């Protein structure tokens, strides 16, 4: 009888331990699942500029997957800045811990007449198909900026229509201060781009942020607050 009681007690302990193990596994699974679901796939067209570099690093450190769309990924990753036309992040940055989730991807930039090679083929499916957020950081104030936005909107709507689009442009005040030449034409273009986003995207935020190197971290913080 005593032996039988001991066996019952042992069975209960074993059952309790098994239940605890199962509970621990469920908690661990929930934590892993939450971690995976909170990580976003974010695309940064024009992300080789100063703001793009800081933003890509911040997103990467937050566990998000970042794809920088650039017109020439080879030049963008070279040790020396070969051409300002393509922007530059540098191989050392891409190989650093800050950029462990960052990759460069060639794209056409909306202008098929202003690209070299064929590495940009298939960028839409590669970058946009499962993108959660597309943050447009394409710079310049020529027609190229408008064509890039149109291209992003059209391709995103085909690949993933519920993607959050974030259009980033300078404030009117900073445009007048730092980019006064042909100011009206530039402001009109920025306005058309924002209207294009609002008219054609299901989920969009248009941000006007200040210009200047000293403002980069603040701009990055505002974008991060938006996507949290």
Q: According to the model, what pLDDT value does residue 109 have?
A: 77
Measured CA to CA, the distance from residue 63 to residue 55 in angstroms comes to: 13
Radius of gyration, CA atoms only, the chain: 24
Q: Domain spans of the chain?
A: 1-38, 39-227
Per-residue pLDDT, 49:
86
Question: 209: which 2 tokens?
Answer: 């942020």
How confident is the model at residue 32, as a pLDDT? 41
Whole-number pLDDT of residue 107:
86
Distance CA 101, CA 122 (A): 21
pLDDT tens track of the chain, all 228 residues? 555 555 555 555 555 555 555 654 554 444 444 344 478 999 999 998 889 989 999 999 999 999 999 876 555 555 544 444 444 555 656 666 566 789 988 887 765 545 554 555 788 888 998 899 999 999 999 999 999 999 999 999 999 999 999 999 999 999 999 999 999 999 999 999 999 999 999 999 999 999 998 999 999 999 999 987
- Look at residue 98 in the predicted model and tell me its pLDDT: 67
The pTM for the full model equals 0.76
Strand 133-136 to 164-170 pairing: parallel
Per-residue pLDDT, 82: 44
Q: The domain 39-227: what is its CATH number?
A: 3.40.50.720
**pLDDT on residue 22:** 60
Please spell the DSSP secondary structure of 172-224, one letter per residue: HHHHHHH--TTHHHHHHHHHHHHHHHHHH-SSEEEEEE--SGGGHHHHHHHHH
């Amino acid at each position: 009888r005593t032996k039988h009681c001991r066996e019952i007690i042992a069975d209960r302990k074993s059952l309790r331990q098994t239940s605890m193990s199962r509970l621990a596994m469920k908690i661990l699974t929930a934590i892993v699942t939450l971690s995976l679901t909170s990580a976003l796939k974010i695309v940064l067209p024009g992300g080789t500029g100063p703001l793009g570099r800081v933003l890509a690093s911040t997103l990467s450190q937050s566990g998000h997957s970042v794809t920088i769309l650039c017109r020439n990924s080879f030049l963008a990753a070279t040790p020396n800045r070969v051409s300002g036309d393509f922007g530059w992040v540098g191989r050392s940055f891409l190989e650093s811990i800050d950029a462990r989730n960052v990759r460069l991807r060639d794209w056409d930039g909306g202008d098929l007449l202003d690209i070299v090679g064929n590495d940009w083929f298939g960028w839409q499916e590669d970058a946009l198909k499962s993108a959660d957020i597309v943050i447009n950081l394409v710079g310049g104030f020529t027609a190229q900026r408008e064509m890039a936005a149109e291209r992003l909107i059209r391709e995103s709507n085909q690949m993933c229509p519920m993607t959050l689009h974030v259009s980033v442009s300078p404030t009117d005040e900073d445009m007048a201060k730092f980019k006064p030449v042909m100011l009206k034409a530039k402001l009109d273009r920025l306005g058309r781009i924002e209207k294009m986003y609002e008219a054609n995207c299901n989920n969009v935020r248009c941000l006007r942020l200040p210009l200047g190197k000293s403002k980069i971290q603040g701009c990055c913080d505002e974008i991060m607050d938006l996507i949290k």
